[in-house]
Structure 1
Amino acid sequence: MPVSKPLRKALQHTADECIDCGKCMTYCRFLAESGSPLSIALTALSADENVDALSHRTYDCSACGLCSAVCPVNAEPDNIFTELRYHAQANGIFKLDQYAPLLNYERLGQRFPFKGESLPEGCTTVFFPGCTLPAMFPDATRIAFKILKRNNPKTGLVLNCCSKPSKMLGLKSKYEESLSALVHTLERKGIKKILTACPNCHVTFKQFNTRLEIVSIYEELKKSSFLPVTPSVKEVTVHDPCVTRSEDSIHKAVRELLKAMGVRVLEMKHNKSNTLCCGEGGGTNMHNNAYARNWSRKRINEAQRTGVPMATYCAGCVNFLGSDYPTAHILDLLLVKRKSIPKPVAFPFNYLNRLIFRFTAL
C-alpha cells in the first residue's frame, strides 16, 4: 500500500535520530518484543509491504508516549506508531471489530440523548467534562460545574465527545471531521475558552490547534475560592494519565489542590512526564489484554510500594485501575464527602449516570 508523506517523514526522523540505546525498550513490552524504534523504522523504510505488517502490529502499542519521553535524542518513536495506525485504517489493513464498544461509546456521546449544551446569553466560556467523568462521578461533575458558574455565571456546559477514540485507533479523517464540526460550532456561537476535566479531551483539543483557549479545570479550581470537603484519605500517590505527560501546569495544579485540602502526596518512581500507562491506553486491552495488564500491574506495583491509595484525574484510569487497587478521582476527592474510595461504576449504571446528569444539569 502507498506510504503517506507524514508516515515516511516520521520513519525517516526516527531512523536518523535513534541511537538504538534500548532505553525505551526497558519500559515497554511492545518494543521489547517488536524491536527497537531504529529497527522498526529501518524495516519500514526498506519496503512498503513491511509498513503494512508493522501497521497491524502497532495495535499492541499503548500509544502512551513513554518511549519518546525517555528518549535521550528526541527520536520521537511514538509519532511513527501514530502514523502507522493512520496507515492501517486508510488502507483497510486492520479491522476494528473488537473496538466496537469503544467506538459506540464515542458515537453515543455525540448524539442525543447524551449530547447537549447550555449556553447562557453572553457565554464565552464552557465546561466540557467529557464522556466518562459524568458517567462515573456525576456528583463531582455537578458540583464542579456549580463552582465554575459561581465564579462566572455566564459559564456554559457542553456535553459531547472529543473523538479521541477515533484518533487513537487511526481513524484520522473521522476524528478530524467530527472534532472540526464541534469546534467550528462552538466558535460560531461565540465561545472563546473551553474548561476541560478529562485529560484526553484536554490534549485532543490542544493538539487540534484550535483558536479556542483550552484550560484544565484543575488550573481553574486552583484559582477559585471553593471549600473542599474533608477528605476520606490523608495520603495518596498521584497517577498522572499518560496523555498529560507534557502538561506541567496540570501536574502542578493537581498536587497544589491536594496539598490545600490537607492530603499528603507520596510520589511513585514514575510520575509526571515519565508516568506509566494505566493499561487502557491505545485501546490495547481490546486487542492484546496481556500487554494492557502488564502496564496496569507495573502501575499498581509502584503504587503498592508507597503504601497509600492512588489518586488520578482521569476517569478512564480510575475505571481501569480501581477494581484492583483503591483509586480515587481527584474531583471526587475534592468535592464529594465520602467515608471511603468508591469502586468504579459498572455498566449499565455509567450510562444511566450520564443521562441523569444531562437532564439535570442542562
Structure 2
Amino acid sequence: MENDIKKETEKIISECRECGLCSSGCNFLAESTSPAEMARKGITMEEAYGCALCGKCKAACPLGLSLQEMFQARRVKAIQNQELDPEEFNYFMPDYEENVMNAYRQYYHIDYRDLEIDESSDTYFFPGCTLMTYSSKLTREIYNRIHKKLCCRGILTECCGLPLYQMGLLDRAQQYTDSLIEKITQLGIKRLIIACPNCYYQLRETLKSTGVEIFTIYEAVDFPENSQEPLPKCTIHDSCPDRFDGVFARQTRAALKDCGFEIVEMANIFKDSPCCGSGGQISHFRPDLADKLVKDRLVEAKHTGAEILVSYCLSCVLNFARLESELAVRHVLNLLLGVDEDYADVKKRAAKIFAE
C-alpha cells in the first residue's frame, strides 16, 4: 500500500500544472492548496475521508489526473494503521447484520421472501440495497415487469460491497465479494438485471471473470408509449459512477423522451455533474460539505424551470429530497413506471427507528 500511495502522489507532484481547474469545480479541493502541494505535504486522514471519490477532478483535469486514487489509497492506509476504528462505522456496512438498512427493513416490515423465486432460473434482479430498502413499491414493480418479460425468477437482496471498498476495508470487502460471487455461482445465475449505477459498475468489475452478463434495468424493461397527456418538465442529475461511461445517462434520457417527458438540462451534466453529497460516504465525515453540494444542486435545478428533479440513483434522490425545495424529487423509474413515491420523509423515517 505504501508503494501505491507513493506512485499516485509522485504522479500528481510531477504532472500537476496547478491550473486550478479541478478546484474550481470541487468544494473540497477549493478549501485546500493545489493537488500537487497536497501530495507534497502528504494526505491527512481527514483529507482522505473528506473527498467524495466522485471523479470530477479527473474529468476536469486536462491531463486526466485522478486525485481519487490518491485519497482512496490513503483511506486504506488509515485502516491499516488503525487511525480510526472501523467498528464505529459498522452501522452502514453491508457485512454487519445490524446495519441501518437492515434495521429499516425490519422496522417497516419490508421483505421480499413472498416474491416468486425459481432457483432454476438463470436471470435475477439485483435492485441494490438502497432501492430495495427505501423504495419497496418501486422495487416490486420492477421485479414484476422483468419477471413477466424475461422469465426473471429471482431477486438478490445483497449489497454490491462498494461501501466497504470506499471506507478502505479491503479485507472485509474481499470477503464480502467472495461470498457474493459464491452465491451467484451456486444459484447458476447467468445474467443480472441491475437498477443502481453504483451496483452496475461495481459488479461489472467484480463479475467480469465469471461470465455473468450485466444489464441495466433500462435495457430490460418495456416502458409506456409516448403519452398523449402533457407531462411535467424534468431535469436530470447524473450520478458519479456513471461519469465517464455514461450508460445510465444516455439510457434514461432516451427512455424519458420516448415516454414524452421534456428534459431541460442543468449547466453541469454528464461528466461535469457534481456529487450529490453521498459519494465516498462524506455525509458521515463532512456533513457540511454534503449539505452544500445538495443546496447548490437544488438551486441549479430550479434555474432550469423544471418541475421535477430526477436521478437514476436513489442515493442521490434521497439526498436531494431531504431538504425542502420547490421541485419534486423522484427516481427516473418513478416517472417511467408511473409509481409515484415521495422521498421527503425517508430520512425522518430512518431517524425514528433510533429515537425510540
Instruction: Report the TM-score, using the length of structure 2 for normalisation.
Output: 0.85
Distance 1:320 1:216, change over 3 A: same
Following superposition, the deviation at residue 160 of structure 1 comes to 1.1
State the match for 1:92 in structure 2: 82
Match of 1:6 among 4, 29, 33: 4
After alignment, is 226-235 or 7-16 more displaced?
226-235
Distance 1:143 1:337, change over 3 A: closer
RMSD of equivalent CA atoms: 3.0
Q: Residues of 2 paired with 1:34 and 1:127: CA distance?
A: 43
Following superposition, the deviation at residue 59 of structure 1 comes to 1.1
After alignment, is 231-240 or 272-281 more displaced?
231-240
Q: Residues of 2 paired with 1:261 and 1:341: CA distance?
A: 21
Q: Residues of 2 paired with 1:27 and 1:316: CA distance?
A: 21
Q: Residues of 1 paired with 2:202 and 2:86: CA distance?
A: 21
State the match for 1:296 in structure 2: 294
Unaligned runs of 5+ residues in structure 1 are: 45-50, 353-362
Q: Residues of 1 paired with 2:223 and 2:312: CA distance?
A: 20
Following superposition, the deviation at residue 34 of structure 1 comes to 2.5
1:335 has 2:333 as partner: no
The answer (yes or no) to whether the contact 1:200–1:243 under 8 Å persists in 2 is yes
The answer (yes or no) to whether the contact 1:229–1:334 under 8 Å persists in 2 is no
Q: Percent identity?
A: 27
State the match for 2:57 in structure 1: 67
Following superposition, the deviation at residue 75 of structure 1 comes to 1.4
Alignment of 1:60-139 (within 5 A): 60-96=50-86, 99-103=89-93, 107=97, 108=99, 120-139=118-137
1:200 has 2:202 as partner: no
Following superposition, the deviation at residue 280 of structure 1 comes to 1.5
State the match for 1:55 in structure 2: 45
Q: How many residues align?
A: 339
Following superposition, the deviation at residue 276 of structure 1 comes to 0.8
Distance 1:170 1:228, change over 3 A: farther
The answer (yes or no) to whether the contact 1:115–1:160 under 8 Å persists in 2 is no
Q: Residues of 2 paired with 1:192 and 1:104: CA distance?
A: 24
The residue type paired with residue 313 of structure 1 is Y
Distance 1:337 1:217, change over 3 A: closer
> SS at 2:236's partner residue?
strand
The residue type paired with residue 328 of structure 1 is R
Following superposition, the deviation at residue 200 of structure 1 comes to 1.6
The answer (yes or no) to whether the contact 1:323–1:343 under 8 Å persists in 2 is yes
State the match for 2:246 in structure 1: 248
The answer (yes or no) to whether the contact 2:181–2:207 under 8 Å persists in 1 is no
Q: Residues of 2 paired with 1:261 and 1:313: CA distance?
A: 16
Please list the CA deviations of residues 158-178 of structure 1 after superposition, one character each: whole Å capped at 9, or x if unmatched.
Answer: 111122221121112211210
Following superposition, the deviation at residue 238 of structure 1 comes to 0.3
Following superposition, the deviation at residue 74 of structure 1 comes to 1.5
Alignment of 1:193-272 (within 5 A): 193-208=191-206, 210=208, 211=210, 212-221=212-221, 224=222, 233-272=231-270
Distance 1:154 1:327, change over 3 A: closer
State the match for 1:311 in structure 2: 310
After alignment, is 151-160 or 261-270 more displaced?
151-160
Match of 2:170 among 172, 177, 199: 172
> SS at 1:40's partner residue?
helix
Please list the CA deviations of residues 254-273 of structure 1 after superposition, one character each: whole Å capped at 9, or x if unmatched.
Answer: 00111111111111111111
The answer (yes or no) to whether the contact 2:301–2:309 under 8 Å persists in 1 is yes
> SS at 2:156's partner residue?
strand
Higher relative contact order (CA 8 A, sep 6+): 1
The answer (yes or no) to whether the contact 1:231–1:263 under 8 Å persists in 2 is no
The residue type paired with residue 164 of structure 1 is L
> SS at 2:31's partner residue?
helix
> SS at 1:264's partner residue?
coil
Instruction: Report the TM-score, using the length of structure 1 for normalisation.
Output: 0.84
The answer (yes or no) to whether the contact 2:311–2:331 under 8 Å persists in 1 is yes
Q: Residues of 1 paired with 2:262 and 2:62: CA distance?
A: 32
The answer (yes or no) to whether the contact 1:276–1:295 under 8 Å persists in 2 is yes
Q: Residues of 2 paired with 1:121 and 1:301: CA distance?
A: 47
> SS at 2:303's partner residue?
helix
Distance 1:256 1:351, change over 3 A: farther
Q: Residues of 1 paired with 2:162 and 2:223: CA distance?
A: 32
The answer (yes or no) to whether the contact 2:192–2:215 under 8 Å persists in 1 is yes
Following superposition, the deviation at residue 320 of structure 1 comes to 0.9
Q: Residues of 2 paired with 1:318 and 1:232: CA distance?
A: 24
Following superposition, the deviation at residue 30 of structure 1 comes to 1.6
Q: Residues of 2 paired with 1:236 and 1:192: CA distance?
A: 36
Q: Residues of 1 paired with 2:116 and 2:213: CA distance?
A: 19
Unaligned runs of 5+ residues in structure 2 are: none
Q: Residues of 1 paired with 2:316 and 2:143: CA distance?
A: 22
